[in-house]
A and B are shown apart, each in its own frame.
Chain A
Amino acid sequence: MVDLSVNIAGLRLKNPVLLASGTVGYGNEIAEFTDLNKLGGIVTKSLSLKPRKGNPPPRITETPSGMLNAIGLANVGVESFLNDKIPFLKKLSTTLICNIAASSIEEYVECTRILTQEEAIHAFEINVSCPNVKEGGLEFGNDLNIVGRITEKVKAVTNKPIFIKLSPNVSHISDFARVVKENGGDGVSAINTLVGTAFDIYTKQPKIKNITGGLSGPAIKPVALAKVLEIKRNVDIPIIGIGGIMDWKDAVEMMIVGASAFQIGTVNFINPNAGVEIVEGLKTYCEQNSIQNISELTGSYQI
């Protein structure tokens, strides 16, 4: 009998499969296509203190083996989330991680302080790395001091685990993971999307209104693996691996380079049942390879 459960920063997940923020909304739509209760957990669309309208269209475009998006953190805000979205999420028997995005340190703290009172929320993921907003995105995620301060201040208002979602658009991602650890963060999520763009060769205009967007999908998997490995080899901190995972094989690879759990994102848009299929695939892989506990895979690379 394979044990697929993982323990990450004190958070017990029934399996390592999480649905990534911004690719599952608040759970209700994707629940039409998949059984969320079979997953390790879901990470909500980024929440800010007040609702955010997000960027004007076009917001997305397909690129080779990937897609660019510049949604701009469109979300319902903390209050509406608690009133309108939590009732559905509460009924699920899976781990709920709330992703928070903000344009000031105070806003991160305030969101966390309010949300931590909701017992249905098990942990927080702090988004300091959205490439598509003017304030609170990469200008925070690129600054070691600010990432440290956000970690420390947010941690001070909650007892629940805090994961900081890191940007790949930096020279040394492990420096950021270290700062998170030093300031009391429980873990890191890596990676957020890579900044990219695409132009129409006839109109010579950018294909998304924001000009640049976040690149995701299979195209970024090698980058994500390298970043997770870099963190694993340099900092002793739990890692949630993210980036281009499309199936159980990608997931195994992500765990081998150091992830304790992982998130799937873009694939949800194509196959909304991908998470459940990955759980099944992992189970078979473990059985066939005599792995009793899937966490044995984490950081099991042979270099």
Chain B
Amino acid sequence: MYVEKSKVESVQKISDNIFLIKVLSPSIALLAKPGQFCNIKVSENSFPLLRRPFSICDIEGDFLFFLFDIHGDGTKLISEKKPGESLELLGPLGNGFDYKEGYDTAVIVAGGLGVAPFPFLVKNLSSNKKVISLIGGRSKKNIVTKGLKNVLAATDDGSEGFHGTVVELLKREIKNISQNKFRIFACGPTPMLKALQNYCVENNYDCQISVECAMACGFGICQGCPIDPTNGESYLLVCKDGPVFEAKSVKL
């Protein structure tokens, strides 16, 4: 883990409210695994005070990419960064996906900005793995497919692809998918993950979910991000024990 002052290379607007930022961070880029995150200090003063956690979206050489939407002061400040300005990254944090062995088809299930960790995952999958990406969003403009393969979209308003939720889309596609040994990799809003978790636990599907939680430090000292394990008394921490968990192992 490093604290690395990282120069902004570019900030690209992907749609209305969604941005992709590219930053130079060689030591973190070298260590990072798919599903890990960085806790980012977006300003040099105490506004905002705390770092903000972001999934590592992709890595190209010494550069890291983060995908985000503006939903508060911190993300607004990042979206306004100019090339040459800097962010202070702390990372890579968390455990990441277990993606190397034990299945043939990677099924990506993402809701909204839950697509963030997957371009990096897809890039790292061995070439013999098949990939199916099921991407959900409220509407066409919320669907981000950058860096993904074999995409099927689901929208709540039917403006693109399947009219319904991404979990309903998965249920529709499962017959095809389950012809191979598959593993689901999922990230998205908690209600979506909950629906997916119920479905996967009922059917005993192999599923890993990346969960989100407000946190301060990102590495286990603030204890701000507890999550209940399915078995066991004490809380786990999203930052340190996650953010990726076996779907059956935690209570959402």
Is B220 a contact partner of A62 (Cβ separation < 8 A)? no
Of all chain A residues, the one with the shortest Cβ separation from B213 is A57
Do the beta carbons of A62 and B49 come within 8 Å of each other?
A: yes
Contact B226 A69 (CB under 8 A): no
Asked whether A51 is an interface residue with its Cβ less than 8 Å from the other chain, the reply is yes
Task: Evaluate contact between A54 and B41: CB separation under 8 angstroms.
Answer: no
Residues on A with beta carbons closer than 8 Å to the beta carbon of B222: 22-23, 60, 69, 71, 269
Please state if B46 and A65 are interface contacts (CB–CB under 8 Å): yes
Q: A272 and B226: CB pair below 8 A?
A: no
A57 touching B49 by the CB < 8 A rule?
no
A57 touches B226 (CB 8 A): yes
User: Which of B11-19, B140-148, B227-235 makes up part of the contact surface?
Assistant: B227-235
Which one of B50, B217, B221, B223 contacts A62 once the chains associate, using CB atoms below 8 Å?
Answer: B50
* B238 and chain A: residue at smallest CB distance: A57
Kindly provide the distance from the CB of A29 to the nearest chain B CB, expressed in whole angstroms: 4
Q: A33-B3, A270-B41 are in contact. Are A54 and B223 (CB under 8 A)?
A: yes
Residues in B with CB closer than 8 Å to A66 are: 49
Size band of the interface chain B makes with A: 20 to 34
Q: Is B1 in the interface zone, CB < 8 Å from A?
A: yes
Does B235 contact A29, Cβ atoms closer than 8 Å? no
Contacts of A273 in B (CB 8 A): 3
Interface presence of B51 (CB below 8 A): yes
Contact at A65–B49, with CB atoms within 8 Å?
Answer: yes
A: number of interface residues (CB 8 Å):
35
Shortest Cβ distance from residue B215 to the other chain A in the assembled complex, whole angstroms: 7
Instruction: Report the bound CA distance from A283 to B160 in whole Å.
Output: 62
Is B48's beta carbon under 8 Å from chain A? Answer: yes
The binding surface of chain A is classed by DSSP as: loop
Report Cα–Cα, A67/B52, bound state, in Å: 13
Across the two chains, which residue of chain B brings its CB closest to A70? B224
Task: Judge whether B223 and A29 touch: CB under 8 Å.
Answer: no
In the complex the two chains form, is B220's CB within 8 Å of A25's CB?
yes
Interface residue? A5 (CB, 8 A): no
Cβ-based interface call for B194 (8 A)? no
Q: Which residue of A lies closest to B228 (CB)?
A: A56
Residue of B nearest to A24 (CB): B221
CA–CA, A272 and B4, complex, Å: 12
Chain A residue numbers with a CB within 8 Å of B233 are 51, 53
Q: Which of A65, A71, A268 contacts B47 (CB 8 A)?
A: A65
A-B contact pairs, 14 of them (CB 8 A): A32-B1, A33-B3, A56-B226, A57-B225, A57-B227, A59-B214, A62-B48, A65-B46, A67-B49, A74-B226, A217-B49, A270-B41, A270-B217, A271-B3
5 closest Cβ contacts across the A-B interface? A60-B224, A269-B217, A269-B216, A29-B220, A25-B221
Interface residues of chain A, those whose CB is within 8 Å of chain B, are 22-25, 29-30, 32-33, 45, 51, 53-54, 56-62, 65-67, 69, 71, 74, 217-218, 246, 266, 268-273
Interface residues of B (CB under 8 A from A): 1, 3, 41, 46-51, 90, 213-217, 219-228, 233-235, 240
